[in-house]
Amino acid sequence: MKEKILVGLTAMALATLGTQGAFAQAAKAKTGKLSGDMVKIGVMNDMAGVYADIGGPGSVEAAKMAVADFGGKMFGKPIEVVFADHQNKPDVGASKAREWFDVQGVDMITDVPTSSVAIAIAKVANEKKRVYMNTGAATKALTNEECSPYTVHYAYDTYALANGTGKAIVQTGGKTWFFITADYAFGHALEADTAAVVKASGGEVKGAVRHPLSASDFSSFLLQAQASKAQIIGLANAGGDTINSVKAANEFGLTKNQTLAGLLMFISDVHSLGLKTAQGMMLTDAWYWDTNDETRKFGRRFFAKMKRMPSFDQAAVYSATLTYLKAVQEAGTDDADAVMKVLKKTKINDVFAKGGYVRADGRMVHDMYLMQVKKPEDSKYPWDYYQLKKVIPAEEAFQPLALSTCPMLKKK
């Protein structure tokens, strides 16, 4: 209350002094133009399928937490969070996004795991000129060939995953690799990116086997990986497929002589595998709840509501929503072009990222973390799963802007 009075007094004082510029600055935060007289944020993801534990209802809760932390109102008008299930199907996601933009007046869409759906929605958002802050999808195409002036790729991508895990493992002596790859766009991209990093760091790729999505049994693929005699088995898959690959690898004694590398693992995967099975695996993470006091506080708040610790995707949804709201406030409007202009020049400092920024190609650049899954005896409390091996500095973690194939960059 005191602060409000102070701000009011200062504004009045400045106004009477006639410093118009300063007055405008103070007023910016209080009034602005909003389409539909409200800010509407759409969380779209897989609500009940293979990726539901990564984002799902937890992401909706994270977005609501961000709105609450922002104060619940924008220029005195309501902020609403809506959500939808894209069922991992690009057509379902794209038509829902159209409906959101055209009929319901959604201003920003976030989360959207599953690379194929993510690309489809990037196209819709570009066509309708609305902000799209993707946290859930891995494909680096979002900031390369499929980039758009309205896309922000917020949390991670296949380049960062490959670069983090691939490079670190080769450096620690894991020279020969074999890939077990999910047979669709995401798996192929992750395998290709990692293979490139492995070769560039002086490693060798012995081969790969492609399995259908949601395969019911992985033992056959693991036997092929075993026969390859590669030191490292790279798992270029996600969710349930990764979990079942790891389980089968343990059962067939693969882990005695070879090391598994989960190229995309979420904390929910480790949780459901259990430390006994997952111990020793290396992975690249964008955020971990047990990093510092701020992240722990956020993690516990989330846990109180969802009964599980947030995945990095869910933390990113929180951060993206908050960053978006701050940008709208600063721009004084929810007009996408104005908001994007603000987004591309502000530093992001919150529970998810320190000193993060959005590049010209839409890539949000921030530190990444190389983690190793703890042994059961080293885990002191629930969800104490990772040992930090290395902080990968923002500049190293992501694809250099010079290598981006984003057509937007060439126009200039």
Residue 392 within binding range of other proteins, rule CB under 8 A: no
**Is residue 242 a contact partner of residue 179, using CB atoms and an 8 Å limit?**
no
Out of 35, 116, 272, 333, the only residue in the binding site for other proteins (CB under 8 A) is: 272
Out of 244, 314, 319, 321, the only residue in the binding site for other proteins (CB under 8 A) is: 244
Rounded to whole angstroms, the Cα distance separating 283 from 237 reads: 13
Residue 229 within binding range of other proteins, rule CB under 8 A: no
Cβ-proximal residues to 396 (8 Å cutoff; 6+ apart), any chain? 163
Q: Sketch the per residue contact string, 274 through 313, with other proteins: x for CB under 8 A, - otherwise.
A: x-xx------------------------------x-----
Compute φ and ψ for 384, nearest 5 degrees.
-85, 85
Strand pairing class (108-111; 77-85): unpaired
Residue 314 within binding range of other proteins, rule CB under 8 A: no
Out of 39, 41, 44, 53, the only residue in the binding site for other proteins (CB under 8 A) is: 53
Q: Which of residues 191-220 bind other proteins (CB under 8 A)?
A: 209-212, 214-217, 219-220
Rounded to whole angstroms, the Cα distance separating 245 from 180 reads: 9
What does R_g of the chain's alpha carbons equal in angstroms? 22
- Where are any strands of DSSP class E within 216-354? 232-236, 259-262, 282-285
Q: Kindly report the length of the chain.
A: 412
Out of 97, 169, 233, 273, the only residue in the binding site for other proteins (CB under 8 A) is: 273
Helices (H), ranges, 216-290: 219-227, 239-251, 267-273, 275-278
Tell me how many residues contact other proteins (CB under 8 A): 41
Residue number with CB closer to other proteins (129 or 247): 247
Residue number with CB closer to other proteins (253 or 407): 253
Q: Which of 285, 268, 283 is nearest to 352 (CA)?
A: 285
Compute φ and ψ for 346, nearest 5 degrees.
-100, 150
Minimum CB separation of residue 214 from other proteins in Å reads 5
Out of 123, 247, 305, 390, the only residue in the binding site for other proteins (CB under 8 A) is: 247
Residue 24 within binding range of other proteins, rule CB under 8 A: no
Q: Which of residues 151-190 bind other proteins (CB under 8 A)?
A: 183
Out of 22, 175, 240, 401, the only residue in the binding site for other proteins (CB under 8 A) is: 240
Helix (H), strand (E) at residue 370: strand 368-373
Stretch of 64-72, 194-202, 273-281, 349-357 lying at the interface with other proteins (CB under 8 A)? 273-281
Rounded to whole angstroms, the Cα distance separating 203 from 214 reads: 30
* Chain contacts with other proteins (rule: CB under 8 A): 48-53, 56, 183, 209-212, 214-217, 219-221, 223-224, 226-227, 239-240, 243-244, 247-248, 251-253, 268-269, 271-274, 276-277, 308
